[in-house]
Amino acid sequence: MRIGLTGGGSSVDSIVRQAQKAEADGFSSLWYASGVAGDPLVAMAFAGRATQSIELGTAVLQTYPCHPLLQANRVVAAANGMGRPGLTLGLGPSHAPVVEGVLGLSYENPGRHTEEYLRIIAALLRTGDADVDGADWSVHSGGRMAESDHPIPILLSALSPRMLGIAGRFADGVVLWMASAAAIGTSIVPLLQTAAVEAGRPGPRVVAGLPVAVHDDLGQARDAVNATAVGYAGMRNFKRIIDAGGGASPADVAILGAESTVRRRIADLSAVGVTDVWAQPVAVGDDRLQRRESLHRTRTLLGELAREHSDHS
């Protein structure tokens, strides 16, 4: 099982420095939200050129505001700009409050929308061509697709049975957020693997994103997680997956506690079929010094785990 981190930064230079340090510390990957630096793809291309092997993935680029032909060409441009393999495309339809409230678009039929989108973008990235007339998305690429220098894996942000079926048929796996080991083992991996087998696809990757804090005061750690995850707690899809994992709030599924507890919780993820952990270290404390020290403690343990798993791979 590989150990990665949340990627980010306010500038291209800071994103490049973070990638270089993460690679030097033994982490396998960094995962970037769609709003990082306005659009993470340009910064990821620079970071890829400044590193040797660390995987740089999107978690996730939104599907609704970008036609799949444009999205595929953007991603190929960034991947070619890296100058090496290592860019992974994580996609997701986002959520109704974002699509309707922020973008002003209809969120009707997200399952159909996502299935058409994935079918098109998978064809474009794997074969360079797509000829599809759909209800939500159509494309007749006809030579308008750039050629990729390296394969680009596709992951889907999938939590519901419909989305997991789509991921199993068209993607290379899933990239998850707020899904605990219990939810992954019972509600995600079985459906995903069944869909992949039925479609004749290889065994799918399962990238599990969770907040992590190595800290002795569980109350403080829980408060810190819930304070940074207010937006997620109010979204129906995340509430459903948190409930599936036996929780009621983001803090209930976060990985919190002393070093031995965090090690055990991460091992639990591997036991239910997780191939990659995407950890988001959470700062805990009442002042800047305490928060900085807590982040250092969390990152130190995660770095140890990353190197241990790398040595055993």
Map out the domains of the chain with their CATH numbers.
Answer: 2-312 (3.20.20.30)
**Which is nearest to 275 in space by CA: 163, 152, 200, 193?**
193
pLDDT at position 312? 62
pLDDT at position 290 over 70: yes
Question: How far is 113 from 109, CA to CA, in rounded Å?
Answer: 6
Global pTM exceeds 0.75: yes
Tell me: the pLDDT tens digits for 204-249?
999 999 999 999 999 999 999 999 988 776 788 888 999 999 999 9
Residues in CB range of 33: below 8 A, 6 or more apart? 6, 8, 40, 58, 59, 60
pLDDT at position 313 over 80: no
Question: How far is 156 from 282, CA to CA, in rounded Å?
Answer: 24
pLDDT at position 82 over 80: yes
pLDDT at position 139? 98
Instruction: Report whether 29 contacts 58 (CB < 8 A).
Output: no
Question: How far is 230 from 178, CA to CA, in rounded Å?
Answer: 12
pLDDT at position 148 over 80: yes
pLDDT at position 263 over 80: yes
pLDDT at position 237? 86
Tell me: the pLDDT tens digits for 22-52?
999 999 999 999 999 999 999 999 999 999 9
pLDDT (mean) for 66-90? 98
pLDDT at position 233? 64
Residue that the structure tokens 């092997």 belong to:
53
What is the DSSP secondary-structure string of 261-310?
HHHHHHHHHHHTT--EEEEEE---SSSHHHHHHHHHHHHHHHHHHHHHHH
